[in-house]
Amino acid sequence: MRINGQHTRTIWVNGDGWSVEIIDQTKLPHVFETVTLRSMEDAARAISDMLVRGAPLIGATAAYGVALAMREDTSDAALEHAIQVLGATRPTAVNLHWALADMKARLLPLGASDRLDIAYERAAQICDEDVETCRLIGAHGLQLIRALAEKKNGDPVNILTHCNAGWLACIDWGTATSPVYQAQAEGIPVHVWVDETRPRNQGAFLTAFELGQEGVPHTIIVDNAGGHLMQHGLVDFCITGTDRVTADGDVANKIGTYLKALAAADNNVPFYVALPHSTIDWSLSDGVKEIPIEERNPAEVTAMQGRVPGGEVVTVDIAAPGSPAANYGFDVTPGRLVTGFVTERGLCDASRQGLLSLYPEQARASA
Amino acid sequence: MRINGQHTRTIWVNGDGWSVEIIDQTKLPHVFETVTLRSMEDAARAISDMLVRGAPLIGATAAYGVALAMREDTSDAALEHAIQVLGATRPTAVNLHWALADMKARLLPLGASDRLDIAYERAAQICDEDVETCRLIGAHGLQLIRALAEKKNGDPVNILTHCNAGWLACIDWGTATSPVYQAQAEGIPVHVWVDETRPRNQGAFLTAFELGQEGVPHTIIVDNAGGHLMQHGLVDFCITGTDRVTADGDVANKIGTYLKALAAADNNVPFYVALPHSTIDWSLSDGVKEIPIEERNPAEVTAMQGRVPGGEVVTVDIAAPGSPAANYGFDVTPGRLVTGFVTERGLCDASRQGLLSLYPEQARASA
């Protein structure tokens, strides 16, 4: 999608043919700045320090991390080491492990001299495949928005989203935002309620930024507001991304997603989750019991980054001095609260039966 | 309760016998500073700019505002004018209108020369009555915490609260916090999950501050976290205050309360609301339809006050440049999601029948 009118992806190989460029998303929306990754360790740090975030982009960055590792050493040991280091950067992200397993499966059988070229080739392919996946998610989700628009008589379809499952979390298009961008492109009037998404403010910082850059009408709200909006008919449709979906349709996503799903269910507002197939963890069933939830640095709760007048970015303390804080990164929304999934293969119920209807090969795989 | 070990109320008459002192709560927790009110207009500004907030303290400040007006002019016209100006400061606060109606009913029948003394006397009485009301709310709520503690085998009772319904919102004790303070005084181990409460951060700023000053163990969390905590058995009890309760038991409170009540219901966690009788609006039944919700300045969402290292308090922008925001102040939690009310007369169901069981005189009043 566009930044300052220029089409941009979130990760690309530079003109030198080997170093990898990413957007430093920790600085958005205050500053647009890119960072060059020159080693596997650079890639690992970019993931763990959240310069890149979002399941697909984390996977793509890990894949390029493996490619960067191969530049230095193409041995089996170096490959195993890279996969171990990169795999330890973010425990909840299943895409990370999917991308690393994919890279390993392709590179390990090759002779050491072939690994470097194939690693870069495959990383580029992972990016292109994600762009196509997100485009397809958008095309399927667009059907839902189109149907809602028909009932609105030209009024905008009000869409609520949490966190950032936009193109900044992917390579392009985004997951939850892809239907919105495609609706806008088709001339359907849309308006997005953007949950601020404390504590890291990915909504107010990233989703609002990318919607603004694409000219999509939107309004930032605090995470507390969605229930009130739904009670008053001001939300037609909720759509979020996800970090991990179980085979039974439970959804791990940014902390607070569960609260919005409860409000949607209480007010009969459709609540959809957009995801690529790589986000489904077929080995898990009960998400609340089985998905480990990352506890992050409490300073993310008690301090916040912002711009002072003049543009300088500073970090301020925003809690009573001496009061401790806790920082749970994700929560799990049970499938019973999710109206449906939007994947690259189409729409389905948030259940094992629903997922297997789109991915029947998984039934055969586990049979 | 205590600030720096010293027992303090939120509002008092100074040694000069007429000027009124309040804590500037917009500066907490960064700076503890008091402000002197010398006129009715000072009192009105203190309410509308939220130097004082919380239903009981707003009512008490309005009562002293009438007293300050009487210092300048004790005519009927001056009394009516004061009540009009003070009544327009915060639309949602029913205590404000209760206190003003009470002052008017007592002062208007008097001769003009008696009004000044009686106004100060009655304002002081309103404060003392609120302290006693809050003490009684605490005594009744304590029963609930005591019963939960019996099942915890010495582990702390985990209590979640939203916004600040603490003594800073009242004159002393608080409403939602009063049972907590009384449990702590009785030696029951308690721990409070403090919702940050965006956009004005009354949880992280005020509730955390007052719990810290009283030595009550607590942890600040983002507003998104409560659902996750409840799913994992980490919350034994929710208690909040309220700005207005309808005769059918619907609860208007700080935006986001409804989301916590939904999560509590979904996880069988008891959800109580603490209130003095003056918060009940017997003229309303369906809260979602009938209670007007204040829309506040969007800058409260897109900018935040905090301390930079060194202690200076600055305001920083925390949203994508150019993105608009909306700022709904309150939401309504339907009575069906509320386990019960804790009032100065005891516990009851969140329903008309429940409220009438404690306030039978209201049934006679409306019969």
Task: Give the tens place of pLDDT for each residue, A53-83.
Answer: 888 899 999 999 999 999 999 999 999 999 9
Task: Give the tens place of pLDDT for each residue, A289-323.
Answer: 999 988 999 999 999 999 998 889 999 999 999 99
A305 contacts chain B (CB < 8 A): yes
Element (H, E) at B144: helix B115-150
Q: Is residue B74's pLDDT more than 80? A: yes
Q: Is residue B296's pLDDT more than 80? A: yes
Q: How far is A302 from chain B (nearest CA, A)?
A: 8
Mean pLDDT of B30-56: 95
Residue type, B97: H
Q: Is residue A93's pLDDT more than 80? A: no
Query: Per the residue annotation, which of B195, B223, B236, B243 is the catalytic one?
Result: B243
User: Mean pLDDT of all residues in chain A?
Assistant: 96
Task: Give the tens place of pLDDT for each residue, B125-156.
Answer: 999 999 999 999 999 999 999 999 999 999 99
Secondary structure, 3-state, chain A: CEECCEECCCEEECCCCCCEEEECCCCCCCCCCEEEECCHHHHHHHHHCCCCCCHHHHHHHHHHHHHHHHHHCCCHHHHHHHHHHHHCCCCCCHHHHHHHHHHHHHHCCCCHHHHHHHHHHHHHHHHHHHHHHHHHHHHHHHHHHHHHHHCCCCCCEEEEECCCCCHHHCCCCCCCCHHHHHHHHCCCCEEEEEECCCCCCHHHHHHHHHHHHCCCCEEEECCCCHHHHHHCCCCCEEEECCCEEECCCCEEEECCHHHHHHHHHHCCCCEEEECCHHHEECCCCCHHHHCCCCECCCHHHHEEEEECCCCCEEEEECCCCCCCECCECEEEECHHHCCEEEECCEEECCCHHHHHHHCHHHHHHHC
Predicted confidence band of residue B310 (pLDDT cuts 50, 70, 90): confident
Q: What's residue B367's pLDDT?
A: 58
Q: How far is CA A208 from CA A34, A283, B93, B137, B230, in A?
A: 19, 35, 33, 43, 30
Q: What's residue A299's pLDDT?
A: 96
A191 contacts chain B (CB < 8 A): no
- Chain B residue numbers with beta carbons less than 8 Å from the beta carbon of A219 are 323-326
A301 contacts chain B (CB < 8 A): yes
Q: What's residue A262's pLDDT?
A: 98
Mean pLDDT of A149-161: 97
Predicted confidence band of residue A174 (pLDDT cuts 50, 70, 90): very high
Q: Is residue B365's pLDDT more than 80? A: no
Predicted confidence band of residue A366 (pLDDT cuts 50, 70, 90): low
Q: How far is B107 from chain A (nearest CA, A)?
A: 40
Nearest chain A residue to B202 by CA distance is A319
Residues with Cβ within 8 Å of residue B306, at least 6 apart in sequence: A303, A304, A306, A316, A317, A318, B30, B313, B314, B316
Q: What's residue B127's pLDDT?
A: 97
Alpha-carbon dihedral B165, B166, B169, B175, rounded to 10 degrees: 60
Q: How many CB pairs under 8 A join A and B?
A: 228
A86 contacts chain B (CB < 8 A): no
Question: Which range among A87-101, A166-180, A347-361 shows the weakest confidence by mean pLDDT?
Answer: A87-101
Percentage of chain A modeled with pLDDT above 90: 91
Task: Give the tens place of pLDDT for each residue, B219-257.
Answer: 999 999 999 999 999 999 999 999 899 999 999 999 999
Q: Which of B267, B271, B316, B332 to mutate to test the interface with A (most CBs of A within 10 A)?
A: B316
Contact A218 B324 (CB under 8 A): yes
Q: What's residue A95's pLDDT?
A: 81
A4 contacts chain B (CB < 8 A): no
- Chain A residue numbers with beta carbons less than 8 Å from the beta carbon of B321 are 29
- Chain B residue numbers with beta carbons less than 8 Å from the beta carbon of A330 are 228
Q: How far is CA B70 from CA A58, B75, B124, in A?
A: 67, 8, 15
Q: Which of A218, A222, A230 to mutate to test the interface with B (most CBs of B within 10 A)?
A: A222
- Chain A residue numbers with beta carbons less than 8 Å from the beta carbon of B224 are 197-198, 223, 254-256, 259, 331
User: Which own/partner pairs from B34-43 qualify as long-range (CB within 8 Å, at least 24 positions apart)?
Assistant: B37/B61, B37/B64, B37/B65, B37/B68, B38/B68, B39/B68, B39/B69, B39/B72, B40/B65, B40/B66, B40/B68, B40/B69, B40/B72, B40/B82, B40/B85, B40/B86, B41/B85, B42/B68, B43/B68, B43/B86
Q: How far is B148 from chain A (nearest CA, A)?
A: 23
Contact B258 A227 (CB under 8 A): yes
Report the complex ipTM.
0.93
Query: Per the residue annotation, which of A102, A223, A236, A243 is the catalytic one?
Result: A243
Candidates A201, A221, A229; nearest CB to B325: A221
A223 contacts chain B (CB < 8 A): yes
Task: Give the tens place of pLDDT for each residue, A100-123.
Answer: 999 999 999 999 999 999 999 999
Task: Give the tens place of pLDDT for each residue, B190-221.
Answer: 999 999 999 999 999 999 999 999 999 999 99
